Structure 1
Amino acid sequence: METWQDFAELFSSPRGALAHSVFLPLCAFLAGGLVVWIFHQTKLAFSNDNSAILEAEVRAARERAILEWELAATQDYLQSTVLPERLATLLKWLMPHPETGFSAVFRLVKDVPRLASSVGLDPESRHRLQLSADLLQDTLSTGVGDVFARDQFRNRSLTGLTNHDRSKLVSPFVLRLGSARKPWGIVVCSHEPAILPHPAHDAFRLPFRELVAWATPLGSELAILESIAHQDSELTLTQEMLELRAMADQQYRSPSHMLQRFISRLSELVQFERAVIFLFEQDDVARPIPLVRGGIPLSQDLMDAWQLGEELLSIEMTGMTSSSSWGVKELRRLNILDSFHNALLLPLVHGQWVMGQLCLTRRTGESIDDGDRRLLLWGTGFLVELLTRTVDRVTMEQQATRDGLTQLANRRTFDLELDRTIDRANRTGDDCALVLLDLDHFKKVNDTYGHLGGDAALRTVAHVVQRSVQAMRDDDNPVVARYGGEELVILLPGVGAQGAHRIAESIREAVERTPISFEQGTFHITLSAGVAARGTAATSSRGIIASADQALYRAKEQGRNRVELNHAEERPPQTASVLT
């Protein structure tokens, strides 16, 4: 009590007035400071709590985005039912924007990586890309390769990239598919896939540990799928072998026709467009001779360039004893790019003798898979068996059925085939047309250049006609023959009047623009054509020939170097002489 009284007296005294004027403001200031400090501390604590909450939200959003990515990628991946599709799906998720990056899967075959699939790589990079031995070893042992700085990775880890693909390297990495004990393959990526957890949050790269955890189990699953695919491939291979063998056992009009069908189907099965068998003579292996050609039909000009390219390639590879694959770069050296862009040559070996080659060509495509390679290995072996049984028969057949000058079918062969075709068409109602060709002013050619010049003209025209027909109607078994003198004839099963007229017109144009090489110079020749189709007035061999002869006479009479069509409904006169 005394203390409070003393305190009160102090403030009521003159000295107290001074204390009152100093102490109270000081206390008020300290109290205010204490209030401000308490406010700031409360605000700071609240701010820290908000930051922690935001960080937790971002972390949760990222974890949720990673989980959603893994679930979506796995679901999409498992929807694919075959190995190539699954690999493509895997790469799609690892590299969703291949224009700015690349990703590639290597299959390990006896610890040797072989490229199985890729996205975002240039064709040249796909052919040349290789992993360093150190990086391969690190990846197989640890599951993820060392992530180097960009320049270090480029120099130490990957070789064979084009400059364009090297520019895509941002944060490259390598993943192992499968366990360290049983690795299936390796994935190479230019950078990690980016994930956007929420529109309000920034995108981020998928962490390596998540990639490793997601990718490693896929190896065992891929191994199972590959085993199933291998069994399917074996079944497919067996079926294709049986199909080709059955083709050889069927009845054909000639051995050469059987060989043509065989190589056409073989080339189709391995996804090539054309095929040709070249044979070597034992005393002249430097001159490959085309025996049989097959495949898809081509235009006249393209067929000429294509066959020239095949022959140049065969000469280049004369004497080879192993298969040889040719891409754009190699074909450019031989100036063959006007036709096909990919070729495969396989030797036909009988004992110690390389009897010939099988040449397969196409405009697109880069490599063949293991199943196709095995089918070709079997196919060439079986083809050698067929050739050893039929090549002598083919040679004798050609001598008996071919015209010696033009190498077209002779008159006897044509008459027999015409009778069979007309009889079959009468029974089935199928179309059938005939084109009769006659060289214009051929007597003048003989008078000017001699009979050797006339022979050169006939050979050249026959070659042009044969190539034109093969390019347009190879699948319908057309027959081109020398009918007599300067007359040629074309039998077109399955072709109507208008179709035959178009073919004849194309041949006429091709002959007109083709120079005849003779001695030190060249000259040109034209031809006239008469077209007839099987119909009510031409249901026999004699009838359709007479109808075509009538049309040819009209073409000659109207100025030559033209094509005239005689419709089947028109009954031709009994006789018609053709002007020369």
Structure 2
Amino acid sequence: MPELGFVFVGKQRKLFEDIDKLLPERPRRWFTPDRFSGEETFSFWPLYFIDLESAPLNFPKEQGQVIFVSKNRQLFGELENLPENFLGFLSLPVEKNNLFSLFHKAQELFATYLDILNMTREISLEREILARKNALLSFLNRILTRSTETLELEKIFKIAREELKQVLEVKEIGGVFWWQEDLSSIQCFIPQGNAEKVFSWQEYLLEVVKRFTKKEVREFQLNWLASEEEQEKLQRENIILVPLKHAQKVYGCMAILTLAGESLGKDQFQVLQSACTHLGLAIRNALRFEEVKLRADHDGLTGLYNRRHFDQALRLELKRHQRSGRNLGLLLLDVDFFKSINDTYGHLVGDMVLKKIAQIVQQSVRETDLVARYGGEEFVILLPETPEERAWILAQRIRKKIEKSYFSSGKKKIRVTVSIGVTSLRPEPFTPAEELIARADQALYLAKNSGRNMVCTSSEIECRKLPN
């Protein structure tokens, strides 16, 4: 049985000394970047610690998880293509809690890997002993292999529908998953269709959650699955419901809609249960991967996109607007006297102010606009196909909303203002992203130095203070 071990990739062992001391006694391997191909195999399940400042050209492609390590936190935001087995970032000097948090995540993923490995071995043993089940076991092996080849949820459900048709008359497949006891994250997977069909699936799956958890469902997320069937209401009597368990707890169910409520034999049901267990593990891994991606792209305090995601989006929008010849607008917003708020009322109140401003800004923009926390008390709003005049009007609306809002701190109500720099340009083929940001930053600088609580455009000589 393999065990969890550690692989360090970097120019100097010294960089990993503190990490190495904190980790438990397990197998270890050390590589310099020039001697690491990413194709290495080990007798243990590897947890990679890779120095970003001397990162190899090839990241690990096989089993295991990757943690990027650097003394320079800025490098984390500049990394564009994360490997599929990416687990997290670790900045130096190392913080014990951060390291242990990542290590515990790795242990959970390793446990999942061992579960899958054990299941595969059991399947192989049964195939040798029970020849008559050869076809069914081949089916299990195929569905396990295919479902674990991807982390895209829709593809996993498509694979499930295709493979389960080998043993059942399957029309459609849905599912619902909830692994937090407080039901804070419920994911429903529903085949696309008309309103009646969608509502009947949604109603059924939420009833399933209530049946297993004995709790009312208040919030949930819908995920759409491609459907080849007619737009008809769900026939509940034709559903085979398979619960999925992890650590002896039910965390979700697969709902399989058959042609006419099939009666399953014991062997068929065991195969179906095992197949759905494999699919559930693949779905669970895919959901965790999406959660990691979400955390990597979003600011933990405000829930807005972070600087890393904004920089990527800005480059893409620049290219798109270069082709279309349309104006790309940008607002750069800074909270006035934010340090004074922190010093007077404390950092918890400062955090509350940032979260409420983020909410106000997000509610003020279009769905096509992108709002991000740029850093500290600065926010940035990317406005596709927006000339400067319209961008200025939006900035004015946001400034007024914030100025008229109350930010409560106990019995006190705080008034907060912001300064906003506005710009818009029609990018040329080689216009750099930095030019748009620099123009907005210059306008913001003028607003801050002309009295604050202002909106200033990059094209005007003087900032105009807006009427209350």
Q: What's the TM-score, normalizing by structure 2?
A: 0.41
Q: Which has the larger radius of gyration?
A: 1
Structure showing greater relative contact order (alpha-carbon pairs closer than 8 Å, 6 or more residues apart): 2
Q: What's the TM-score, normalizing by structure 1?
A: 0.34
User: Hey, which of these two has a bigger chunk of helix by percent?
Assistant: 1
